[in-house]
Structure 1
């Protein structure tokens, strides 16, 4: 049973639906799996809970 975890910034539900469908299709094409066995987990991280280079995401936007 394939399990895919995606960590990303919040996205529109339509985008997540499309991505989940494409990932599921890819597993079915390559591994020959049944679509119902493919699980996709979206972990959405806000800029308050992310940093890069020691700078919080919320601070990066205000500095640019």
Structure 2
């Protein structure tokens, strides 16, 4: 059973639906596993809890 973890900033439910479908399809196509066996976990980090180059993304 493949388990995929996606770390990202907040996204809309529509974008997350599209993402998990495409990730699932990639595993089905490349590994030949059934779609029902693929788990995708999305962990969202708010902009004030994540930095790039020493600056919070909330401050950009």
Runs of at least 5 residues in structure 2 that lack an aligned partner in the other structure: none
1:38-57 equivalences in 2 (<5 Å): 38-57=38-57
With structure 1 as the length reference, what TM-score do the two structures score? 0.85
What root-mean-square deviation, in Å, do the aligned CA atoms of Structure 1 and Structure 2 show? 0.9
1:1-64 equivalences in 2 (<5 Å): 1-60=1-60
Indicate the structure (1 or 2) with the bigger Cα radius of gyration.
Answer: 1
Runs of 4+ in 1 over 2 A off after TM superposition: none
Runs of at least 5 residues in structure 1 that lack an aligned partner in the other structure: none
With structure 2 as the length reference, what TM-score do the two structures score? 0.90
